Amino acid sequence: MKQKRWTIRLPLIYKSVPIALSDHLWQIKHFCLGDWCLKILCLTGGLASGKSTATKFLEEQGAMIIDADKLGHRVYDPGTQAYRRVIETFGEDVVDDDNRIDRKVLGGKVFGQPAALKQLTDIVWPEIRRLAELEIAGYDAAYPDGVVVLEAAVLFEAGWEDIGDEVWVVVVDREIAIERAMARDGFPREAVEQRLNAQLSNDERCQRADVVIDNSNALSHLQAQLAEQWMRLSGAGKTL
């Protein structure tokens, strides 16, 4: 189950974003124009589930998209806090000739090493969250009645689900996911199965979702489900 959220409404239509009863507290605050408030959706799913396809559809409906994977690349940029901490933790040899983090070298240091991987995610995940919150704040200032979608494969693992008003999970049957990943990425079946086994299961994700989107059938079926949920969101009142 998702953690309970509290929305604090202050005088003069000033409002804080939903606050999760967790170990951290959102620092972003924004204005509500009457009943209009920015809506934030967190969207996730497993390997070859169709997250990006769902996100593209929502973008076409008018949603503003934040891609956590792209933010994950930005946190390694030279001069950032994560850049410095990665070098301090994993050594100067992770820096290439262009003074950038060599992600292949870094990956070799954490692959199959749970303790080292946790060190890395403890550096990177908070920075990705910080960047996502900054982007949300920017959208909030410009489009206070809009919808923001945060697409994040590791949404639950990183503990980011409290960022959103709703969590949407895209699922696909395991065998279909294997076939799609093999066709898309050219990986052998064994490699795809290993990646799936290392992720949360569909059941684990669904237990923590507000909305489950099944992408095991045709694209039109996926789009119909997304359209229904989008209409619900758009027509369910000015606030979630």
| Domain 35-63+146-233 and domain 69-144 have a common topology | yes
The rounded distance, in Å, linking the Cα atoms of 115 and 126 is: 17
- The single residue listed with the structure tokens 């489009």 is 143
**65-96, pLDDT tens digit by residue?**
999 999 999 999 999 999 999 999 999 999 99
User: What CATH number has the domain spanning 69-144?
Assistant: 3.40.50.300
The reported pLDDT for the residue numbered 212 is 98
Q: Is the pLDDT of residue 33 over 70?
A: no
- The domain defined by 35-63+146-233 folds into Rossmann fold (3.40.50)
Nearest to 30 by CA among 5, 48, 13, 53: 13
CA distances 19 to 3, 25, 134, 150, Å, are 10, 6, 16, 17
Q: Is 43 helix (H, G, I), strand (E, B) or coil?
A: strand
Three-state DSSP at 70 gives helix
pLDDT tier for residue 175 given thresholds of 50, 70 and 90: very high
Residues 228 and 71: their CA atoms lie apart, in Å, by 29
pLDDT in tens, 185-225: 999 999 999 999 999 999 999 999 999 999 999 999 999 99
pLDDT band at 21, cuts 50/70/90?
Answer: very low
**What local confidence, expressed as pLDDT, does residue 233 receive?**
83
**Spans of all domains in the chain:** 35-63+146-233, 69-144
Query: What does the pLDDT look like over 137-148, one tens digit per residue?
Result: 999 999 988 999
- Within 10 angstroms of residue 106's Cβ, the number of other Cβ atoms is 21
